[in-house]
């Protein structure tokens, strides 16, 4: 990742560091382990993202139901689409 990507927006250094720490795949580092079990929204989300013109997708719900885990499970699939 270009180290100047965020500097042009004058983001605070701590925020840039937090973004990099939370998104290790940006610099080719492995993600933290996520549960292998994929719940029902996974396939629906992947199919919506695969549509030619993907609409805006919002993942919402109460705390601790798996929103972040779902997103982390989708990231590896999306990364393989670009290769």
How do the domains of the chain map onto residue ranges?
Answer: 1-30, 34-83
In Å, what is the CA distance from 57 to each residue of 9, 14, 22, 53, 54? 25, 28, 21, 12, 8
Task: State residue 74's pLDDT score.
Answer: 92
C-alpha span between 58 and 34 (Å, rounded): 21
* Helix spans in 7-54 (H): 13-22, 41-50
Provide the 3-class DSSP secondary structure of residue 76.
helix
pTM of the model: 0.64
> pLDDT per residue over 7-27, tens digit each?
566 788 899 889 888 888 888
């Amino acid at each position: 990742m270009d180290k100047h990507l965020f500097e042009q927006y004058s983001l605070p250094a701590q925020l840039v560091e937090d973004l990099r720490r939370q998104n290790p795949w940006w610099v080719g580092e492995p993600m933290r382990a996520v549960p292998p079990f994929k719940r029902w929204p996974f396939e629906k989300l992947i199919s919506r993202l695969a549509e030619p013109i993907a609409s805006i997708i919002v993942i919402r719900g109460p705390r601790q139901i798996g929103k972040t885990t779902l997103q982390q499970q989708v990231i590896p699939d999306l990364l393989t689409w670009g290769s």
